[in-house]
A and B are shown apart, each in its own frame.
Chain A
Amino acid sequence: MRGLRGMLLGLMVSVGAIAGAKAQTVEIEYWQYVFDARVKAMNELIKRFEAANPNIKVKQTTFPYADYQTKIAAAMPAGQGPDVVQLFYGWLDNFVSAKFIQPLPRDAFPPAAIEKDFYPIVSAMKRDGEYYALPTAVRSLALFYNKKLFQEAGLDPNTPPKTVDELLDFAKKTTKRDGAGNMLSAGITLDFPGQDYHWWRETLLRQNGGAPYSDDNKTVTYNSEAGAKSLNWYADLQRTHKVGQVGFMDEGQAAFRAGRAAMTIDGSFRLGAFGGIKAFEWGVAELPASADGKKANFASYWVNAITTKPTGPKLEAAKKFLAFVTTPEAMQLWLETVGELPARKEAAETEKNLNHPIYGPFLKALNYSHATVFVDEMAQRQVSLDMINRVLLQNQDAKAALDEAAKAEQPILDRFYKK
């Protein structure tokens, strides 16, 4: 009797489920910030995903970077917003504690498999044994240089600087000024709020023997001798050597793209935008090592997570979509469209990719990269921005600026780790 009832019930449920699945297409919403190449790549991925899953529709919504977090924070509590969301890895803790995102369901994303297949930096997405998000791609920094400007300055267009001393030397040679001394073309772009603040923190600082934070990430440690030395070296590019100028052409990338800067430090995500440059040839090189050959780089990534919004069939659809955008196939597409490196090791380190003149330097950097653990990326970024502004605009001494920055940043860390 009981068995029969159970069978009947089971039958009804499964019939219902099948009917339900057949009857309606599930629409899920995907959010990311505006970056032309990423949007294009995601449109292509969605097209392929929808072709493979005809009963799931994915709607992509995008916002300018400056408003992106605000929009998510506004929509989620109102029960609106995305089912699958892209976020910067540094925002994870904020998103988890605000209950915007849920742990990745273990059935679809077993932690052991993640740890086996992805680059180790992805472990930063793990909280209390649960993974909350997965990247499609990872990025590192490299030096972009303008071959035409190199040539004009009498430099070999195929020999980028290998050390920071060479970098300075090349920058001096490629800087152009008018009669009054106004900069017409920069040797190297200075754009701290762009990527330079990562370059300083994870590369220059470490090359001088320092570290930005303690090993447990709970204490600021950049207000050190190495901190002052590296910050002074950076600031001297403008203060003493005048090979770059904050705000020149508004943004570093704009200066480089306009052919008004011989070198710029930027991420692999910029490849798409620089790909459209027609006026000159450019090359990519690993970030210059220190004089004693020490290399360091900054890796960062955007991850995709499932928000707390979807349940039932929408959750299932979200799981499928997230799994799809983290397949090796999706990663290769992302690499080719956006220029960001596959987050799965085997997909990344193919012979072809490693020898690629453009992807190669970025990929090699992944082996000596650090991913800063941010607790509140926006606030921490503001602190370092204020620091460099005090040094460059108000002539504050580097050590004092670092101390002041540490004093402002430590409470941000404390507030977070006390919780």
Chain B
Amino acid sequence: MSAASPLALRIEPGRILAWLLLFGGGLLMVTPLAFMFATSLKDSSEIYDLAFFPAHPTLGNYVTVLSDGRFLRWFANSFGIATAVTLSNVFFDSLVGYTLAKFQFRGRYLVFIAILSTLMIPTEMLVIPWYVMAKNFGWLDSYWGIMFPGMMTAFGTFLMKQFFETVPNDFLEAARIDGLNEFAIFWRIALPLVTPALSALAIFTFLSNWTAFIWPLIVTTSKELYTLPVGLTSFAVESQVQWELIMTGAALATLPTLTVFLLLQRYIVRGVVLAGLKG
């Protein structure tokens, strides 16, 4: 806020106009979401009249969509996969970041550059070899098949390294003198000092896995293993373009992240900024 204050002392008409425009623009931004939710509450006879609010709001669509249980399954899949991948990233990325930041050994720079260089390789280039690998190892159509490419990321490693570099060495030395082993120093001393970075990494990783589309689409064949975005796509097709049901499915896919955001807004925005700027 402080940066804004010198210019924001006086209230001018221009500033009120700017505020109104900003506010209007913000409302415009959430219009698609608003329409999605509003339509999900309409019954099929109502979706063609354009009144925003449903005349007879009903949860019938939600009952229809949820009743066969697949959505819940996809929801659980997405949640489980995103959680597992996030935990793996939080652990390994910080372990590697910590090692590269705080240990002196030959090959350190090489490892760092090698990991960093993978940032230049687009995922799409690896999709075909991953697919072949998954096929050879029998990982096609399995949870592990969906998860394995993302278990560690160069982005997360780089982010964590940046943060561990700000941790004073004295802290670690003191722990060493106390006789803690190196893993305990990492786990009990260093890690708690970078919790903001950890939560930033966790938020970013979870979000990108929650919305991931192309790889789960390729690697899964069984409906039971679909993630929410892939399941939603297949659901939209099956519904034979019944918009009220598609909107309900889309709303269900969107609801969890929006709820979490509204509860933890400040942390999430801060985390995203942190991950974006430092990573």
Direct contact between A and B judged by beta carbons closer than 8 A: yes
Q: In the complex, what distance in Å separates the CA atom of A62 from the CA atom of B222?
A: 8
Q: In the complex, what distance in Å separates the CA atom of A379 from the CA atom of B140?
A: 26
Contacts of B240 in A (CB 8 A): 251, 253-254, 257, 273
Q: Chain B's nearest CB lies how many Å from the CB of A321? A: 20
Contact B140 A80 (CB under 8 A): yes
Contacts of B140 in A (CB 8 A): 74-75, 78, 80
Q: In the complex, what distance in Å separates the CA atom of A61 from the CA atom of B162?
A: 48
Contact A65 B45 (CB under 8 A): no
Contact B48 A71 (CB under 8 A): no
Contacts of B221 in A (CB 8 A): 61, 63, 71, 74-75, 80
Q: In the complex, what distance in Å separates the CA atom of A66 from the CA atom of B230?
A: 13
Q: Chain A's nearest CB lies how many Å from the CB of B220? A: 9
Contact B234 A64 (CB under 8 A): yes
Contact B135 A254 (CB under 8 A): no
Q: In the complex, what distance in Å separates the CA atom of A257 from the CA atom of B48?
A: 13
A39-66 near B? 1/0 per residue, CB < 8 Å: 0000000000000000000000111111
Closest to A66 in B: B237
20 contacts between A and B (CB under 8 A): A36-B238, A61-B222, A63-B221, A63-B223, A63-B234, A64-B233, A64-B238, A65-B237, A66-B237, A67-B234, A71-B221, A74-B221, A75-B140, A75-B221, A77-B135, A78-B135, A80-B140, A80-B141, A251-B241, A273-B240
Q: In the complex, what distance in Å separates the CA atom of A260 from the CA atom of B49?
A: 13
Closest to A257 in B: B240
Contacts of B242 in A (CB 8 A): 254
Contacts of A36 in B (CB 8 A): 238
Q: In the complex, what distance in Å separates the CA atom of A67 from the CA atom of B221?
A: 9
Is residue A1 within 8 Å, beta carbon to beta carbon, of the partner chain? no
Within 8 A of A (CB), among B205-242: 221-223, 233-234, 237-238, 240-242
Contacts of B238 in A (CB 8 A): 34, 36, 64
Q: Chain B's nearest CB lies how many Å from the CB of A63? A: 7
Q: In the complex, what distance in Å separates the CA atom of A253 from the CA atom of B241?
A: 9
Q: In the complex, what distance in Å separates the CA atom of A254 from the CA atom of B44?
A: 12
Q: In the complex, what distance in Å separates the CA atom of A254 from the CA atom of B243?
A: 10
Q: In the complex, what distance in Å separates the CA atom of A77 from the CA atom of B135?
A: 9
Is residue A258 within 8 Å, beta carbon to beta carbon, of the partner chain? yes
Q: In the complex, what distance in Å separates the CA atom of A260 from the CA atom of B45?
A: 12
Contacts of A254 in B (CB 8 A): 240-242
Is residue A279 within 8 Å, beta carbon to beta carbon, of the partner chain? yes
Q: Chain A's nearest CB lies how many Å from the CB of B230? A: 10
Q: In the complex, what distance in Å separates the CA atom of A63 from the CA atom of B140?
A: 16
Contacts of A178 in B (CB 8 A): none
Contacts of A257 in B (CB 8 A): 240
Within 8 A of A (CB), among B1-57: 45, 48
B138-151 near A? 1/0 per residue, CB < 8 Å: 10110000000000
Q: In the complex, what distance in Å separates the CA atom of A257 from the CA atom of B237?
A: 16
Contact B241 A34 (CB under 8 A): no
Contacts of B237 in A (CB 8 A): 34, 64-66
Is residue A250 within 8 Å, beta carbon to beta carbon, of the partner chain? yes
Q: In the complex, what distance in Å separates the CA atom of A78 from the CA atom of B132?
A: 10
Q: In the complex, what distance in Å separates the CA atom of A258 from the CA atom of B140?
A: 40
Within 8 A of A (CB), among B238-263: 238, 240-242
Closest to A77 in B: B135
Q: Chain B's nearest CB lies how many Å from the CB of A35? A: 8
B178-198 near A? 1/0 per residue, CB < 8 Å: 000000000000000000000
Q: Chain A's nearest CB lies how many Å from the CB of B264? A: 35
Q: Chain A's nearest CB lies how many Å from the CB of B131? A: 8
Interface centre among A65, A253, A258 (most CB of B within 10 A): A258
Q: In the complex, what distance in Å separates the CA atom of A277 from the CA atom of B4?
A: 60
Contact B234 A34 (CB under 8 A): yes
Q: In the complex, what distance in Å separates the CA atom of A283 from the CA atom of B18?
A: 59
Q: In the complex, what distance in Å separates the CA atom of A251 from the CA atom of B238?
A: 13
Q: Chain B's nearest CB lies how many Å from the CB of A27? A: 15
Contact B45 A279 (CB under 8 A): yes
Q: Chain B's nearest CB lies how many Å from the CB of A246? A: 15
Contact of A62 with B223 at beta-carbon distance under 8 Å, contacts A250-B241, A254-B240 already known = yes
Contacts of A63 in B (CB 8 A): 221, 223, 234
Q: Which 5 A-B pairs have the closest CB atoms?
A: A254-B241, A64-B237, A64-B234, A71-B221, A250-B241
Interface centre among B48, B221, B222, B223 (most CB of A within 10 A): B221
Closest to A61 in B: B222
Contacts of A251 in B (CB 8 A): 240-241
Q: Chain B's nearest CB lies how many Å from the CB of A369? A: 25
Q: In the complex, what distance in Å separates the CA atom of A257 from the CA atom of B140?
A: 38
Q: Chain A's nearest CB lies how many Å from the CB of B155? A: 29
Closest to B44 in A: A258
Q: Chain A's nearest CB lies how many Å from the CB of B141? A: 7
Contact A258 B135 (CB under 8 A): no
Interface centre among A67, A257, A273 (most CB of B within 10 A): A67
Within 8 A of B (CB), among A215-253: 249-251, 253
Q: Chain A's nearest CB lies how many Å from the CB of B165? A: 44
Contacts of A258 in B (CB 8 A): 48
